[in-house]
Each structure stands twice: as structure tokens, then as C-alpha cells.
Amino acid sequence: MATITDRLGRRGVALLSLLLVSIVIGFLIKFEQIAILYVLATLSLVVLLLVVGFADLENVGVDGDHGLGPGTE
């Protein structure tokens, strides 16, 4: 059975998640749940800062090969 990443691909999953997040934010604004929106924004910033903080930037290759797609062998 194919997983959702196999069927949609990387870009499709990113667009689907963006759509879901925007729907949730829209509902929170519509129903005036701004306090929940503030908490979610704060938690997302904390997660982003943790990802950046724990990123291993010393071992990033300098040759420009980041594995971003075909033709980057």
C-alpha cells in the first residue's frame, strides 16, 4: 500500500500541510480564539528555534551538493 508521501511527493505533502495549517488558523480567527492562536504561534517559534539550534551546520558540504533533486550527483 502506497503511503501519502509516495502518492503526493514532497511538494504535494508540503502544500497539503500548508493548506491544513491555513484552515486551522482561519477557523481560530473566525471563532475569535486568539489566545489559542498565540499559544500555537509561540510553540511553533520554539520548535523552529530548537531545530535551528540543534542543526549540524558544521558538517554541511561546501561542494554545493545538497541532494535537492536530479542531476546533483
Q: How far is CA 63 from CA 21, 56, 58, 67, 73, in A?
A: 35, 16, 13, 11, 11
Q: Is pLDDT above 90 for 43?
A: yes
Kindly report the CA angle at 57 between 55 and 58, in degrees rounded to 5? 135
Task: Read off the pLDDT of each residue in 4-31 and give the average, rounded to a whole number.
Answer: 91
Whole-prediction pTM:
0.62
Q: How high does pLDDT run on average in the chain?
A: 84
More confident residue, 14 or 65: 14
Q: Is pLDDT above 80 for 3?
A: no
d(CA 31, CA 34): 9
